[in-house]
Structures are given as structure tokens and as C-alpha cells.
Amino acid sequence: MAKERAGNAGFGALFLREERVPAGGYKQILVRDDPAPDKDSTPTDLEVSSGILANSHIRVELDEGGIRGISVRDEKLLGAIGLHLRQDHTDTWTFDTDRFEEPVVATLSDAEWVVEEEGPLRGRVRLEAQLDGSSIRWTLDLHRSNPRLQIKLEVSFNEKFEMMQMPIELVRASEKWLSGSGTGWAERIAATTEWPVQGWSLVESEGNYLALITHDAFSVSMNGSLWQWTLLRSPRMAWGGEDPEVYAGRDWHTDQGQHTFDFTLCADQNLEAGRLNKLTRQQAQPPVVFDRYEGLDRPPWGNSPPRSLWLASEQRAVADGKMPHLPEQRSGVARPEEGDSL
């Protein structure tokens, strides 16, 4: 399988490798230190620069305001994707409104994308900027021959009575809009109304489907050709909209500090609700990856800790025969020794 090298070679190298792991299964990978294959010998459809991130399915155009546009299979479906701050003087629970229509006070601009990875398996670009009093790091990942764009937003939010939103412009107005919910999914009516969302949101325009999958944002509106996600809000904490009778002027505001948002933009041709529910579960439950302390910082006992340090999970793994590197597992003995429990 293909490998990829990235990062600072003076400190160490990052290698990527394509693997398939069956559901409920596992795969053991030996990491070696012999020279990596020449990346130019690995076939790829990726194009990566500070202005373009593309493969044979998706083409993402970048500019100083974020994403300028996205084409899917050579047809432009999305216009700009940006970030802005909007005034928000509603109470903590938005009792008296179902939409956000106050003025936008700051928009991401004058930002610069840089190439972080440029290999045959994955392209990655990164933008770091300031949006009023908040810091933004925006990372895009695109894999070879994959119709899905990974979007990560890292925000240090420091606003008061403002909200951060991610507006997405559709080239043509959406004819159908579905959103995941706690019990399935719901078809919504396009308007400025803000709706709750759980897991995913899907739009359709002239037979083209696009979906955003996330477990980190829960409020979205669709008004014609504007698909707008509300990410963060900063009203007073537990505030009903008026000052209490006894008020000393000291306030705490919601959503302050560090936040990370992971989105997957899906341009697959089969995007029915059942498929999106599966992709949403996969995003929430990525494969568990761990090492066995080979090489750097290897503990004095080697690959297996003394049994006096075993946790209950390790004892169960031995009892189930799932630690094949132990001599007794190789010989067919699958029970922990007497006195192994803590």
C-alpha cells in the first residue's frame, strides 16, 4: 500500500497508509524506519496549493475570506463558505425569537491559506486568522479519490452578545432540505427560521445532493440559497433577558474559550438518510488506535506490563484470547493467572 511523508524531517516524519479494517475486527501494523517509497511513484488525483484543493470528485477554491467555491464532478454547487460574527442580544434560551436577524459586525477577511501536507494520499491546507477578538484556525483535508471534504474549525471565542456563524452559499436555491434529529430525520421548510439539527443536514438542488455531517454544531437555517450554521453564542449565562432585582454588574457569558468543530462535506451520489446516519456514526466512532511502546520511551518491562498493573480490560482480553503476543496465548492458554486482579 502507498505511504506518504510529511512534517519536519529533523524532528520526525509522518507517514500515511491506506488500510481497511472490517467492522469488529482489527489490524496490526509494524512501523519500520527504512526509507519511504518515492511519493511521485504513487498514483494520485490530488491537486494541492494555497488556492486550490482538489481531486477527481471535488474542487475547492480558496481565498482570503475562506472558501470561494466548491465544484462537484466539474459542476459548481457551492459559492462562498465563510465565517462571521453577528450581534446577538437574545436571552440564553432565545425565548422570544426563532431566527437571528441582527447585523453582521465582523467577517473573516485578509486571511492566507498555507499548504500543510502535499502527498499522494492526502492534501491539507490551513488558515489562521483573527476574527474581532477571537482566534481562528481552519483546516481542510482531502484524500485521494474520496468525495468527502474534511473541515476542522478551532476557535478561541472571546465575544460578548455576539454569535459566530458559518454561512454557506448554494449556487442554486435548495429544493429539498433534510436534517437529522434525535429520532431519525425531518424535512424542513426553507426560511430564515433556525432549526435544531443532530448529526447531519442535507440539501438538494437540481438533482445534486450535498450533506454536512457533524457532532459539534446543533443549529442551522436554510433561506433559499443560504445554508447557515450557528456555531457559538455569547449571551449572559442563564439569563432571561432582563437584569435581576439585585444586580452587581458582574456577568458570565456562554461559549467562552476553546472550541473545535469537525465537519464532513459529503458529495457522494448516494446520500439517502440511512446512509447519512451510518456516516454520522462512523464519524462519532473512529477506529481505536494504540501502540505497544516499541522504540521511543519503551518501558523497562517491554511490550506487556507486569500483571500486577493489569486493568480489568486487559484481564478480559486475556480471558478472551485477544492478546496473541503473550506466550500463554500462543500456546492456547487463555486464562489469567491466580492473583492477577487488582
- Rg (C-alpha) for the chain, rounded Å, is 24
* CA–CA separation, 106 and 104 (whole Å): 6
Half-sphere exposure (CA, 13 Å, Cβ side) for 178? 19
* CA–CA separation, 104 and 131 (whole Å): 12
As a whole number, mean pLDDT of residues 67-92 equals: 96
CATH, domain range 42-284: 2.70.98.30
Cell reading at 296: 521511543
Predicted pLDDT of residue 298: 59
**263 Cβ partners below 8 Å, 6+ apart?**
150, 151, 152, 153, 212, 213, 214, 216, 217
pLDDT tens, position by position, 231-259: 999 999 989 888 778 888 888 999 999 99
Q: Where are the domains of the chain?
A: 42-284, 305-342
Task: Pick the closest to residue 187 from 169, 168, 201 (CA basis).
Answer: 201
* CA–CA separation, 309 and 341 (whole Å): 9
Q: What backbone phi and psi angles, to 5 degrees, belong to 149?
A: -105, 125
pLDDT tens, position by position, 117-143: 998 999 999 999 999 999 999 999 999
- Asked whether residue 292 carries a pLDDT value surpassing 70, the answer given is no
Percentages of the chain per state (helix, strand, coil), in multiples of 5? 10, 40, 50
